[in-house]
Structure 1
């Protein structure tokens, strides 16, 4: 009887050792202090998918263009060296500053920098950032190719642009399809602006695609 019990325990320990750690879920990217709207968006936006596309950002500076209420900025700040949350409305800057002071620990607050910019210029310094992130923002910019071209001096060597925008089709969420940017149009725009498209994903997100480009 004791021998059988001993063998059973050994088998249980062996199974635990071979199973390995449980992979993280999307909950690991849940923002502290987030409200109901943020939690609802968390379900369909799948921030973990987008953040994984950014790669290893531990030593990176990220510019979040059109940061809004900070859905991504507040999630990225604990992971990156610095997140520049770019907005063109002072009210959003004030809101983001409140987010920085109330939702981030004191030691992480300097990592989130709300920055007031212009509608046609992100006002990034030369060689300031490693990654520029657009989420549901590029389609709202009037002169998109010119705006993308202005990012080139700000990007460090090997710098990338990650664009998450609405699929050009009828979806349960998002703007009118006529206002959206198609994948081929976006790719051509990036090439003309001085970038080279390195990856496109049209399936990972329900309502959006993800395109990644690097400066030539």
Structure 2
């Protein structure tokens, strides 16, 4: 009996190492190191803070642009009506689909939809979403203003955009400051794309600002 009990944790560890989704080796939006540092990221990313900014999402459809390994998508899916995890790398789509099947209860799996998109097009239908979420993604998009403009028809009348991106200053984490989007530039970009900023939080997160914008 004692030998049997000792074998249980060994078998559990073996299953834990061999089962479950494995991330692709690289990606345009998300670094593989982020996948291995989910717990560490949880500390500085403060996902609860970001989710609170989204408000009541129980009946909302959210597009998570550049979802990567699903750091936010997998947290939002049980809370929202549906989460569209938008990615441009098919390997991440396959990974997210495995996450959906292995981490969510069967009745909730329909709430997470991995969707393959293009670098310049999120592939969202007209009036499909209530909230578009960018986390550490917008600065990587080449023609940001045009991309933001394409989101206008996808948003429902009361829809909004939530942008969480790196502060344009030296921080312990994040890309080179020259690659980041400053708040004044972001404001001009949103305005030109047909949005207006309704709130800015540059203090709560250590490395990122949170901007909420609505259509004009």
TM-score (norm 1): 0.84
2:197 alignment partner in structure 1: 197
Q: Which runs of 5+ in 1 are unaligned?
A: 1-32
Deviation of 1:36 after TM superposition, in Å, equals 5.1
Say which SS state the counterpart of residue 162 (structure 1) adopts: strand
2:163 alignment partner in structure 1: 163
2:136 alignment partner in structure 1: 136
2:39 alignment partner in structure 1: 39
CA distance in 2, matches of 1:200, 1:190: 13
2:91 alignment partner in structure 1: 91
Say which SS state the counterpart of residue 107 (structure 1) adopts: helix
Deviation of 1:196 after TM superposition, in Å, equals 1.0
**Dislocated runs of 4+, deviation >4 Å:** none
Larger Rg: 1
CA distance in 2, matches of 1:190, 1:115: 24
Say which SS state the counterpart of residue 153 (structure 1) adopts: coil
Aligned counterparts, 1:40-119, within 5 A: 40-119=40-119
Deviation of 1:37 after TM superposition, in Å, equals 1.5
**CA deviation profile, 1:149-187 (whole Å, cap 9, x unmatched):** 000000001100000000000000000000000001001
TM-score (norm 2): 0.84
CA distance in 2, matches of 1:206, 1:196: 24
Q: Which runs of 5+ in 2 are unaligned?
A: 1-20, 22-34
